[in-house]
Amino acid sequence: MIRRLFWRLPAIAVVFILLFYAAVPKVQAESSKQSALQLTAEEESYISSHKSLKIGFVQDRIPVSFSDENGELAGISRYIFDHVSELCGIKFEYVPLPTNDVTYDYLLNGGFDLVSSVEYNKENQKAKGILISNPYLSSRKVVVARDGLEFRYDANLSIAVSTGSQTLKKVLSKSYPNFKLVDYPSITACFDAIKSGKADLMIQNQYVVEHWISKPIYEKLKVIPVLGLDDQLCFSAVVAFGENSEASQKDGKVLINILNKAIASMTEDEIGSFTIQGIMENQYSFTLSDFLYRYRYAVITLAILILVILILAVLFVRQHIRLAENKADAKIKSQFLSTMSHEIRTPMNGLIGLNYLMSQKLEDKEQLRDYLRQSTVTANYLLSLINDMLDMSRLQAQNLELELRPVDLELLLNTVSSIAQNSMADKKLIYNVNSKLSWPCILGDEVRIQQVLLNLLDNAKKFTPKGGRVDLSLNQEMTDSGKVLTTATVSDTGRGMSEEFQKHIFDTFAQELDTVSKGNQGTGLGLPISRRLAMLMGGDLTFVSRRWEGSSFTFTFIAEPTELPENEYGPTPSDDLKHQNTKILVAEDNELNGEIILELLQSVGFEAELAENGKIALQMFIDSEPDTYDIILMDLLMPEMDGFETAKAIRDLDRPDAKTVRIFACTANSFSENRDKALASGMDDFIEKPVDVKELLKKINE
């Protein structure tokens, strides 16, 4: 082992010798650099005791002095300062200064040793307490102005000055008193002020101006070189002044002397190289906004062209969609007309046939009574079909309004069940009703609630085979708003619906084809109408269905709880009026309808007279003794004078009974606008044709 070490000693010695000679040039280089500055013993002592200096730099003077994305000093100054640091043998710590005005106290309290980019001018040279170095960078100051504006020293011009150029502000205010100096927070703010006309011009370092003037948005600004406006930048030492500050001032002077010697040792070629390198590496980079601004007219033209193309494309697509919708609408309308034609012609054919049979069996009372029963059922179906069409039209136009009155839900349920029970029994279906009504009286539209329930029960009966089961259940709960939520569920054990048809079940005129083929054809309006009525009542109509297992429809509606009037179950109108001598004037232009209404009224004990139009009705009322007529049934659409005009004319007559006679609109046109117009003309209520005698008697009694 000793022998191995002995043989390796020469190699180890060679390595140490090489390392020594490699280090010697660095030490000699540092020594030669400092000796090249010809430093005094005092200056060498300062350097040995100050290994690092804190330098504050201006951070918005691209490409001279600015803060890069990491907050470090960048630009021409960085190359010069690094070289000065190398010459002096002192490390520089670069710290950015605030963009606003920097105070002496801020620098002193912040521990700064030097401030860079200080202007070398008479103001700073003569200022008391300021120690500045010789210039390390010299360039020109130039004037930036809007195109067409002339620069004159004696003109009253507004000058944009950034807050970091306070020394320049002092020089300008002293040398050019006619200038109006305006502070702006940054160099770019000064450019923007000139561009917008808020300021006339600015005076700034040539390198800085050449950097920003290449921005397209400033393309209409011009640069004016002016003799005598030089921009020389130097260092300023931060030292304490006043009592007991001799040591600080002495150190500051020594530091300035060292810097001056380092600056003096730099050649013009070196400074020129640093300047070119700083400018080239920090040229203005074009952004997307610059591109859009420079080619704005082309961009605007292209945008307009694209917009026109998009508009044309949208119009083209909409036209095709409209054509497709028209085709779809045409198909739906065609299917609807076909369905309605079948639905209307079938009962009409039945009525015509029954009328013929009745004419042949006038002597056979039993057979005649059976024909009359069948014709009544057929006519009622035809009427319900027309009512469905009117309801859908009004619901789609949002013209249908609910008639809110106290409703006895238990009585309504008994009525619905009585109607449904007969049809269920004919098909041998098991029908069950279960109700839990905590608030049996509500404020609602009895007719519409009954309409929805009967429609759901009729569908359940229609699609449930013989021997099946249909259940109707009702329950209630109180909502947070103090209203009653009533839930009615109709369930059946029928054939159910396909998943595809379930997506369209509430579409207008929707019908499942295989059910139509089995004789269950309808208009396809019942469920859409029922759901819209439910939503109009603040609820909804939902369903669950499984193919060949059955369906369950849930109808909900919200209403306020109330109580029935005391006389709700009083005498029937017919019993109450049989012994009264009540006279009614019927204004009806259709002879057949007039005769039917007269017969209906006279059959229950009323005295009735017929007027063929509104003009005759008005004259008959005028010619009659006061209080002759108790009630007027007024058709709305009549020749000579319509019902609205006639009612208004009667109300305007100067006789007491003109104001008290009860006038009922009696018309087949039952839309809400006609109802409102009838009430506005002075009528008391509205009766729909064909006239239901029970409904008429109820309204008269009310």
d(CA 353, CA 345): 12
CA 428 to chain centroid: 56
Both ends of the chain: CA-CA distance in Å?
132
> What pLDDT is attached to residue 309?
81
Q: Which strand (E) or helix (H) includes residue 313?
A: helix 296-360
Q: Which strand (E) or helix (H) includes residue 226?
A: strand 221-237
- C-beta separation of 114 from 235 below 8 A: yes
CA 172 to chain centroid: 55
Report the chain's mean pLDDT, rounded to a whole number: 81
d(CA 187, CA 205): 11
The model's pTM is 0.43
> What pLDDT is attached to residue 334?
63
Q: Could you say which residues of the chain have pLDDT below 70?
A: 1-36, 123, 125-129, 164, 166, 227, 243, 325-350, 377-378, 380-381, 383-385, 388-397, 399, 508-524, 566-580, 668-672, 702
d(CA 688, CA 636): 11
> What pLDDT is attached to residue 566?
61
d(CA 4, CA 294): 78
CA 333 to chain centroid: 35
> What pLDDT is attached to residue 343?
61
d(CA 688, CA 521): 28
d(CA 547, CA 541): 20
For the domain spanning 299-384, the CATH number is: 1.10.287
Domain ranges (residues) in the chain: 94-294, 299-384, 403-565, 571-701
Q: How far is CA 234 from CA 2, 77, 231, 367, in A?
A: 65, 10, 10, 127
- C-beta separation of 250 from 227 below 8 A: no
d(CA 358, CA 448): 35
CA-CA-CA-CA torsion for 485, 537, 419, 692, nearest 10 degrees? Answer: 140
Instruction: State pLDDT tens for residues 550-596.
Output: 999 999 999 999 987 764 444 444 444 453 578 999 999 888 788 88
Q: Is 537 exposed, middle or buried (0-12, 13-18, 19+ CB in 10 A)?
A: buried
Domain 403-565 bears CATH identifier 3.40.50.300? no
Task: Give the pairing type, strands 131-132 and 221-237.
Answer: antiparallel
Domain 94-294 bears CATH identifier 3.40.190.10? yes
Q: Is 609 exposed, middle or buried (0-12, 13-18, 19+ CB in 10 A)?
A: middle
3-state secondary structure 43-57: HHHHHHHCCEEEEEE
Q: How far is CA 93 from CA 50, 54, 86, 117, 483, in A?
A: 12, 5, 13, 15, 77
d(CA 228, CA 587): 109
Q: Is 693 exposed, middle or buried (0-12, 13-18, 19+ CB in 10 A)?
A: middle
d(CA 314, CA 330): 23
Q: 442 by DSSP, 3-state: which? A: strand
Which contacts qualify for 281-284: CB closer than 8 Å, 24 or more apart?
A: 281/63, 282/62, 282/63, 282/66, 282/74, 282/75, 282/211, 283/63, 283/211, 283/214, 284/211, 284/212, 284/214, 284/215
CA 144 to chain centroid: 47
Return phi, psi of residue 613, to 5°.
-160, 180
Sign of CA dihedral 649, 655, 660, 661: negative
Q: What is the DSSP letter of 185?
A: S
d(CA 38, CA 24): 21
Q: 333 by DSSP, 3-state: which? A: helix
Fold that domain 571-701 belongs to in CATH: Rossmann fold (3.40.50)
Those residues whose C-beta lies under 8 Å from the C-beta of residue 135, and which sit 6 or more positions away, are 120, 232, 233, 234, 263
